[in-house]
Structure 1
Amino acid sequence: MAERARPHLYTIPAHRAFADSLAAGLIRRFGEQPLGLARGLVLLPNNRAKRAVTDAFVRASGGGLLLPRLVALGDPALDEAAGAALDPADEADPVPPAVAPMQRRLILARLVAAARERAGQPIDAAEAVRLAGDLARTLDQLLVEEVPPHRLREIELGEELSTHWHRALDLFGLVLDRWPAELARLGCIDLADRRARLLRRLAVRWKDAPPAGFVCAAGVTDTAPAVAALLGRVATLERGMVVFADLATAMDEPEWQALGPHAPDPVTGAIKRSIETHPQFHLKLLLDRMGFNRAEVSVWRGGSEFDATAARGKAIASALAPADFTGKWTELPAAERRLAGIEAAELATPGEEAQAIALALRQALETPERTAALVTPDRALARRVAAHCGRWGIDIDDTAGRPLSILPSGTLLLALADAAAQRFAPLALLTLLKHPLVRAGDGRRGWLEGTRKLDRVLRGPRPAAGLAGIDAHLADAPKREAARRAAAAVWWPEARALLAPLEAVFEAGAQPLGTLVAALRETAQALCGDMLWSGPAGRAASDFLADLEARADDGPVLVDPDSLAALLRTLIDEIAVRPQQHGHPRLAIYGLIEARLQTADLMILGGLNEGVWPGQPAPDPWLAPRIRAMLGLPGQERAVGMAAHDFASALGAPNALITRARRDATQPAIASGFWLRLQALAGETWARGRALPLERWTRALDDPGAHDPVDQPAPSPDATLRPKQIAVTDVDRLKADPFAFYARQILRLAPLDPVDADPSAAWRGTAVHAILEEWAREDACHPDKLHDRARAMLADERTHPMMRALWQPRLMQAIDWIARTIEKQAEEGRAVIAVERKGSIDFAGVTLNGTFDRLDRLADGSLVVIDYKTGMPPSPAAVRAGFSLQLGLLGLIAERGGYEGIAGQARGFEYWSLGKRADQFGYVTSPVDPAGKYDKVLPEEFTTLAAHHFSEAVGRWLTGGEAFTAKLHPEFAPYSEYDQLMRRDEWYGRER
């Protein structure tokens, strides 16, 4: 038997720049012949690697050069990229075309929805599309690993798998049974299947008819059997070669063999996690599938200007060794544990981490021709770093791109779908109308002025649903808001006309997806014009909508409009918009895939926290881990091993900086296992010392230095500006927080209610007051009519659903209590004489005005002032301190004839609270007591006490010249509307 020829297998260690070493080696081998390089073919993992290798050839040639054909094996249009080499035009049995990705996704969504419907578990279209995405990824893994789908039927599930996994596997099987028929109908095959067929055909073709030029497969890490077969063929070609990226040729043989691949455990069916998470696992698996041994791999010859020390590579390999072999760390000499050239920066927050990375990138530019790159899987961190660089005028590209869902064109489509699904609720409507793309251009200013007018009148609880609800809200205006709502009503028809067609489609109920998408597209065009489709993000949005609308008939038959926004978000989140290449030539930001085969003088590895790098493997909702292992599919932890390989490769740069934040946006963060392994290996040599200046600079960049707190605000306006009238409800504010009174009554600054606000205590109180006022005025306090009034308010479509669902039971009980109490008091000779009446008197040099909730007359002719409370009534201590004297001041106005047609002495003061006490809702409390019990005021002294404290406050601030000091009595000033204006946090509780 003839001896097998030695395969042409090579590796480029991580401490050598892969692309530059590859280009230098190929030029040395084939560059001497005029067309030696041009006749060659270089197989690379992805399109980003093609660019890196192209740049490396340019650097290595120093001038003009005819490049070999560069083909990305991960390119979806693989046959077009490689030309006739992969798919000859005269092929007798051509490979069928691949089904379009959007068409495939929607067909699978329809099949999933139908399968769940038959199983009695119906789902909406958005959930079907999400599950179809997971299903497509699982199906692709079966196709990539060349696992026949019928193997699913041969698996013995056993009793240990939960009912959930049995059900998921049944649904998975139902979909797979129908999917081949769908492909046959279309005359297509899956993209992963087509790629595998093309690669296998190429491997067979090259066996008998090898290409005329050289073939080099470089940096490929894909372990698919078809890829392994092709690489195995390339390695045996006379002019073929396979070049691995950082294959561990120096790893001890026992450690190498421990990587596997192992057969599944006979009991659990699982592969040990410590194997698939190793950075060399996938390379060993690929080499095994190619049919070769590590001993047959040589180190690639070809230098690089980016070469770093090889000793560091050995230390990194030791740090990332399998758990069973980390015991050797204690025996390693110090020289083999030293991570020379690697620095670590640990910051407090993600914001500080981004600032530190931006500073490091900025510092790299100080050295001529020095390059630097950030590698991180955390896209939020990448965006922050790019924004920080922008403060110095440095434009830096994030080659991983940004999701369309966070770019203007994507957010517009989502905002439009959300607004329509929520029936144009205020918050969703205003979000849409204020979007930067809406009416962009010359008409933008007028549009925003109209939107702001609408914003002002939509503050507070939500109006009735739909555009008609907005119409009614603008027409039904309280007297104090009539002018404001009239101004908004003038502009509103312009916006309404643009939104009405979409509302009509959404209100028609479940419809074909194409109808909904078309309505969304037309409304978006009407709102934004061509600006929506401009730029890279606009073109991506246009292509997406066109593709979705064209393939809509393949998806679920009918789609509920309410699920359209979630459906769009699922799809748009998966679209990455990559920037046009206009960033700084010496700086870059890479994702993990884009960083493969890249290098720079300084590589910054950011986001080294658990769950970020490595990321948390996404669970497969269709196949249980044991089933995946039994089918021979890669474990979910395989991605951790790939991330570890990316991490080790990036650390091979001449200089490296690794960073992490001690907490994320919400909680403390745990350092990545990669970080902890390096730290444990390095021990006392852990290189944080040189990174400490960077950490200090980060904190110092925005540090104002010594804190000099501002003085407690105490404005003192001229006497002519001080108001000469005051409401009884403002007296407590004047005494407790004079600055708040100054801001409201002198500066005329009133806080705005939130948009689409939940019903607050004040709103509930207003609603109850309105019910009781109508009941008293129109029903003469007839006990049988109050219940109906309350029900009418709750049934009004403008009433917030939370009120109706949560507050209705207690409100009805409290209403019944009020009716019973008034009826009982009427029998005792007490009568209601007036409700909600405003009055005023001149007192202490100012006009005091106030509106009582209700005024009763007792049998002896004295008056009882009543205030309805939906919250807690004030305490006797507050009254004794001179606060919460509203009832006393109302009684003072009544005694002095401030209410037309009412006379008498006020001797009763009551809070009717709708809160719960004992076993019922509703009770009466009073700040006075005839016997002075519980430290309460005597009834006959209450108005006198109120008059005294009122006169004192007026004399100090309204007729006098005392300054309006902020938070004079904070214990009686719980409101915070003006805390920001007074800059409270800068002085409150501080000593000069």
Structure 2
Amino acid sequence: MNPQSQICGVPPGLDFAEELVRGLRARMAGQPPEAMARVTLWVNSSGMRSRVRAQFTPPAILPKIRLVTDLAEAIPLPGLPPTEPPLRRRLQLTQLIAKLLDAEPDLAPRASLYALADSLAGLMDEMAGEGVSPEALAAIDVSDHSLHWARTQRFLSIIAPFFGPDASPQTETRRHMVAQQLAEFWAKNPPPGPQIIAGTTGSRGATALLIKAVLSFPGNILVMPGHDFDMPHALWDSLGDALTAEDHPQYRTRRLLDLLEATPDQIRPWTETLPPAPERNKLVSLALRPAPVTDQWLEEGRDLPDLRLAAEKLTLIEAPSPRAEALSVALILREAAETGRSATLVSQDRDLARQVSAVLDRWGIVPDDSSGRPLALSAPGRLLRMTAGLFGRQMTGDQLLGLLKHPLVASTEARGPHMMLTRTLELHLRRKGPAHPDAQFLRDWASAQNAPDWGMWLGAAFDGIEQAGETSLTEHLARHRRLTETLAGGHLAEGTGRLWEGAAGEGAEAALASLERESEHGGMLSPGDYTALFDGVIAAQQVRETILAHPLIRIKGSREARELPSDLLILGALNDGSWPRLPPPDPWLNRYMRVAAGLLLPERRIGLSAHDFQQAVAGAEVIITRATRGAEAETVPSRWLNRLVNLMQGLPDKHGPEALAGMRAKGRVWLEMARGLERPEAEVPRARRPAPVPPLAARPTTLPVTGIETLIRDPYAIYAREILRLRKLDPLRAEPDVRLRGTVLHRVMEVFAKRGGHKAETGGYANLMSAADEVLEAEVPWPAARALWRSRIARIADWFLAFEEAHAGEPVMLEKGGALLVPGTTFTLTARPDRIDRLDDGRVHIYDYKTGTPPSEKQQQYFNQQLLLQAMMAEDGGFPRLGPAQVAAATYVGLGSTPKASSVAVDSESLARAREGLKKLIESYSDPAQGYSARRAMQKQAFGSDYDQLSRFGEWDMTEEPERLPVDHLPRPEETP
């Protein structure tokens, strides 16, 4: 650094652009206007360049304003190679990492293929920017470290060709090259006029080289933002160790001073303007001291001013939930808009930003959000991600319907007919399946619906996607684009519909096109690898749509907020993990290896965030917000907020606890307003336990034997299903669940019995397993479930065959129905027994198969009377195929993991009790005053009913007396859904 050069700083809290121009004009005072044109001003972003230009009012001659991030525009430097597209480098690295994972599959899952390539490309760019060669990595001694780091070190040796003289540079690599050549050029040809670098602390290697080159000439100046003039000079020595000081806000300044061979006492104020809250700056400076020297709180705390002054325009909102935090922030922004004050929410938490924007939408306030929204969450982005995941696997019903309902599918005049067919298809898939609809199924189903064109369109789109295998990235992209555009065009029109329209559509097409341009570098990929790669590429894209935003209300990241002045700053989501964000895990180098190689530590990002926080919290009026609890657990306050609070609580002599209580009291005002925003104007009374009383004419006159238990335990379910005609929809995605397992097991037993049972010529075991294989193949499309369920059947086969040998007669009814008019009533009882055998003496044996444990004796006596009622029906002639038949036995056959048979008493006394009990139950519901009570006698309170939401269970409990509710209007048959 030249002795005649200067290092200046602007304290936190001031408008940097305004102070920069004010200081520049003060230094140019008395000189002719054209002298300003000889000044070259280097700033750190295009936003700051615009802000600086806006400060020159009235219009005047401007200095040359250039960006430190675009050094090549400063002066033509011959021989510089063009920058390699970042995507190309990542695709090349994807191929290398894929070979590594093939050789060592335990290193990482293949789904992380692109993420690993992205992080490795970032590491290589950082190495180039910091001047670290691959040889430096190879020289690190990792003998005392785990095998993982030794493996990654060996792998990193193959990236050496990317650093060769003929290799195409990445962005940071080329910037470093430009900075070096610019310094060499200036050494022979000094830059004309004063050079001023403003708004940076040289956190990047190339920027630090530029600063060093500029300050090597006399008269040049470095103006640093957010410089802490309140930190004692002696404390700067403690920032020398990166392992302990990297996360301090002033560490980057100390590192730059070491590079420039300068000392902290050489830094001078750029202007004489005082920050808006100097007392707060002193407080924050002391609070953010490096952890090993926080004992200085006790020593230097007594020198702080009255902390009530520091906290006078500082508010702390500690919300109980993220929603309450978002509501409070939105109310603050709304008030600012109404009073004509500029207000900015500064946060690195995009969830908070989206929630605040949603609340502001209530009042028609659209904030100026600098981050936009992720392309992956936009309509075209979601559609592209959905279609990318279809190849090489069976499509499920929910995947198909998710696609067909997407707003960009059939986004033409075909949308209306398409949605009508989609709704009908959904009902079919829910009720009948199949679990994995394919192209042929869609053609056949659409033809049955008199919509063959629709079926042909979908069939053509989905043909062959299940068989898609490993192929080149170029072919993956071609069929991905073809499928997506075909779906967007619809079945009545050609083209791509609205797929590529608007900012999101244009961004999605640009992302796809960038992949297509570089696809020759992507090599061969499996469908799974392609899906992971595409998701990784699109996840990094943002969409910024043109909107008419409110001129005073903004949502910014911590870096963007430094460039814009604001009357009010809201520092949102100040929790660890949000602000600061935790450094992402580095799969290639640990902290020791980084230090040994001369690379930056992960804490560098935390240090930069700390610097942003120190500048933001020094604003004229600041509101700090955080949620004390997230979706799943208590949150941890940001380390900076934690230090600030602890320091204030520990300084009672400076009225710290009183000042902190005042900050929280002001925050509680906004929290109470947020609660009031969602508090209903009048208290809504909770529902009582319902017992609807419908007219007798509407009550069911027919129920199956299984419905009798429901009528006893939960009459409300009978009311909802049989009277209101409400049915629970089957799941959207078919799964091998308990219900399907029961259906399959009953079907296996039916096929087994029809083929001769244990008496079959092939032998009982072979017959049983043959029946199992046939039914499982037809009914269960999941290989894992088929294998598991077959093994369960095989495990109980010996017990079941022994039971058959001892008890079975000749099957005369298998899964056939019957009905019986209950004597003395107009009520009909129906049943569909699993199996009825005729014994040698003419009597019958009734079986009921259970996939779990058979009901206990008490359950059979009071609730589960299914077999007893079937026996009653058999003796009273309820099964026409049998005629009146005496029942010798009725048995529950439990075919679970522990097979068990449970007999039911079917003597004349038991059957007489069953007849009398059934008649009494039916007659009770013939009383016009009898209601259908909700959850009358559930086996366990935890057991759910399909109609708990309809009965509003939860607002009442099972100890309440039911409230009889007369029902006047009931749906007519034509109203049945």
TM-score by length of 1: 0.88
- In structure 1, what is the equivalent of residue 782 of structure 2? 800
User: 1:656 and 1:638 mapped to 2: Cα distance?
Assistant: 25
- In structure 2, what is the equivalent of residue 710 of structure 1? 687
Deviation at 1:399, TM superposition (A): 0.9
User: 1:604 and 1:464 mapped to 2: Cα distance?
Assistant: 50
SS at match of 1:618: coil
- In structure 2, what is the equivalent of residue 932 of structure 1? none
Q: Name which of structure 1's ranges 239-248 and 884-893 shifts more when overlaid on structure 2.
A: 239-248
Change (3 A) 1:96 1:801: same
- In structure 1, what is the equivalent of residue 253 of structure 2? 283
Any conservation in 1 of the 2:696–2:928 contact (CA below 8 Å)? yes
- In structure 1, what is the equivalent of residue 161 of structure 2? 178
Question: What is the percentage of aligned positions where both structures have the same residue?
Answer: 32
- In structure 2, what is the equivalent of residue 360 of structure 1? 332
Q: 1:316-341 CA deviation, whole Å, 9 max, x = no partner?
A: 01000012321222342362655422
User: Is residue 543 from structure 1 mapped to residue 510 from structure 2 by the alignment?
Assistant: yes
The 5 A counterparts of 1:643-722 are 643-683=609-649, 684=657, 685-686=659-660, 687-704=663-680, 706-722=683-699
Any conservation in 2 of the 1:124–1:563 contact (CA below 8 Å)? no
- In structure 2, what is the equivalent of residue 188 of structure 1? 168
Change (3 A) 1:709 1:405: same
User: 1:221 and 1:492 mapped to 2: Cα distance?
Assistant: 67
Any conservation in 2 of the 1:337–1:681 contact (CA below 8 Å)? no
Change (3 A) 1:611 1:102: same
Change (3 A) 1:735 1:788: same
- In structure 2, what is the equivalent of residue 574 of structure 1? 540
Change (3 A) 1:604 1:925: same
User: 1:550 and 1:780 mapped to 2: Cα distance?
Assistant: 65
SS at match of 2:665: coil
Which residue of the other structure, out of 371, 376, 384, is the alignment partner of 1:400? 371
- Give the residue type in structure 1 aligned to 2:814: V
Deviation at 1:46, TM superposition (A): 2.6
- In structure 2, what is the equivalent of residue 300 of structure 1? 270
Q: 1:898-938 CA deviation, whole Å, 9 max, x = no partner?
A: 11131222342211011133xxxx2201343xxxxxxxxx7
Q: 1:752-796 CA deviation, whole Å, 9 max, x = no partner?
A: 111223222221111111122223234466334222010222234
- In structure 2, what is the equivalent of residue 854 of structure 1? 835
* Gapped regions of structure 2 (runs ≥ 5): 489-495, 650-656, 962-977
- Give the residue type in structure 1 aligned to 2:467: E
SS at match of 1:720: helix
User: 2:307 and 2:558 mapped to 1: Cα distance?
Assistant: 26
Which residue of the other structure, out of 230, 236, 253, is the alignment partner of 1:250? 230
User: 2:60 and 2:90 mapped to 1: Cα distance?
Assistant: 43
Deviation at 1:600, TM superposition (A): 1.4
- Give the residue type in structure 1 aligned to 2:68: L
- In structure 2, what is the equivalent of residue 24 of structure 1? 22
User: 1:841 and 1:119 mapped to 2: Cα distance?
Assistant: 69
Deviation at 1:443, TM superposition (A): 2.5
Deviation at 1:950, TM superposition (A): 1.9
Any conservation in 2 of the 1:401–1:576 contact (CA below 8 Å)? yes
SS at match of 2:416: helix
Deviation at 1:425, TM superposition (A): 1.6
Change (3 A) 1:222 1:507: farther
The 5 A counterparts of 1:290-329 are 290-301=260-271, 303=273, 307-329=275-297
RMSD of the TM alignment (CA)?
A: 2.8
User: 2:586 and 2:593 mapped to 1: Cα distance?
Assistant: 11
User: Is residue 522 from structure 1 mapped to residue 503 from structure 2 by the alignment?
Assistant: no
User: 2:367 and 2:803 mapped to 1: Cα distance?
Assistant: 73
Any conservation in 2 of the 1:825–1:831 contact (CA below 8 Å)? no
Deviation at 1:414, TM superposition (A): 0.5
- In structure 1, what is the equivalent of residue 68 of structure 2? 73
User: 1:120 and 1:741 mapped to 2: Cα distance?
Assistant: 55
Change (3 A) 1:990 1:590: farther
Any conservation in 2 of the 1:113–1:122 contact (CA below 8 Å)? no
User: 1:470 and 1:631 mapped to 2: Cα distance?
Assistant: 60
- Give the residue type in structure 2 aligned to 1:494: W
Deviation at 1:819, TM superposition (A): 3.1
- In structure 2, what is the equivalent of residue 373 of structure 1? 344
TM-score by length of 2: 0.90
Which residue of the other structure, out of 939, 954, 974, is the alignment partner of 1:971? 939
Change (3 A) 1:225 1:924: closer
Change (3 A) 1:845 1:119: closer
Deviation at 1:566, TM superposition (A): 1.5
- In structure 2, what is the equivalent of residue 266 of structure 1? none
- In structure 2, what is the equivalent of residue 129 of structure 1? 114
SS at match of 1:948: helix
Any conservation in 1 of the 2:203–2:252 contact (CA below 8 Å)? yes
Any conservation in 2 of the 1:454–1:492 contact (CA below 8 Å)? no
User: 1:103 and 1:742 mapped to 2: Cα distance?
Assistant: 64
Q: Name which of structure 1's ranges 759-768 and 593-602 shifts more when overlaid on structure 2.
A: 593-602
User: 2:176 and 2:716 mapped to 1: Cα distance?
Assistant: 75
Change (3 A) 1:117 1:726: closer
- Give the residue type in structure 2 aligned to 1:365: A
Change (3 A) 1:825 1:120: closer
Deviation at 1:69, TM superposition (A): 4.3
Any conservation in 2 of the 1:460–1:756 contact (CA below 8 Å)? no
Deviation at 1:373, TM superposition (A): 0.8
- Give the residue type in structure 2 aligned to 1:675: L
Q: 1:423-469 CA deviation, whole Å, 9 max, x = no partner?
A: 22212222222112212243322222222222222227973646257
Any conservation in 2 of the 1:462–1:757 contact (CA below 8 Å)? yes
The 5 A counterparts of 1:883-962 are 883-902=863-882, 903-917=884-898, 922-928=899-905, 939-958=907-926, 960-962=928-930
Q: 1:575-632 CA deviation, whole Å, 9 max, x = no partner?
A: 2223436321111111233233334111111111122211211122112322211111
- In structure 2, what is the equivalent of residue 161 of structure 1? 145
User: 2:18 and 2:459 mapped to 1: Cα distance?
Assistant: 56
Change (3 A) 1:70 1:719: farther
Number of residue pairs the alignment of both structures matches:
929
- In structure 1, what is the equivalent of residue 975 of structure 2? none
- Give the residue type in structure 1 aligned to 2:48: A
Deviation at 1:315, TM superposition (A): 0.5
Change (3 A) 1:390 1:213: farther
Deviation at 1:409, TM superposition (A): 1.5
Any conservation in 2 of the 1:712–1:988 contact (CA below 8 Å)? yes
Any conservation in 2 of the 1:450–1:488 contact (CA below 8 Å)? no
User: 1:28 and 1:384 mapped to 2: Cα distance?
Assistant: 45
User: 2:853 and 2:477 mapped to 1: Cα distance?
Assistant: 51
- In structure 2, what is the equivalent of residue 480 of structure 1? none
The 5 A counterparts of 1:55-74 are 55=54, 57=55, 61=57, 63-64=58-59, 67-74=62-69
Which residue of the other structure, out of 716, 725, 728, is the alignment partner of 2:705? 728
Deviation at 1:859, TM superposition (A): 4.5
Any conservation in 2 of the 1:433–1:451 contact (CA below 8 Å)? yes
Q: Name which of structure 1's ranges 838-847 and 23-32 shifts more when overlaid on structure 2.
A: 23-32
- In structure 1, what is the equivalent of residue 587 of structure 2? 621
User: 1:316 and 1:461 mapped to 2: Cα distance?
Assistant: 66
Q: 1:622-645 CA deviation, whole Å, 9 max, x = no partner?
A: 123222111111111111111111
Deviation at 1:505, TM superposition (A): 5.9
Deviation at 1:68, TM superposition (A): 4.1
* Gapped regions of structure 1 (runs ≥ 5): 263-270, 476-484, 929-937
Any conservation in 2 of the 1:464–1:797 contact (CA below 8 Å)? no
Change (3 A) 1:346 1:422: farther
Any conservation in 1 of the 2:114–2:532 contact (CA below 8 Å)? no
User: Is residue 8 from structure 1 mapped to residue 6 from structure 2 by the alignment?
Assistant: yes
User: 1:880 and 1:538 mapped to 2: Cα distance?
Assistant: 65
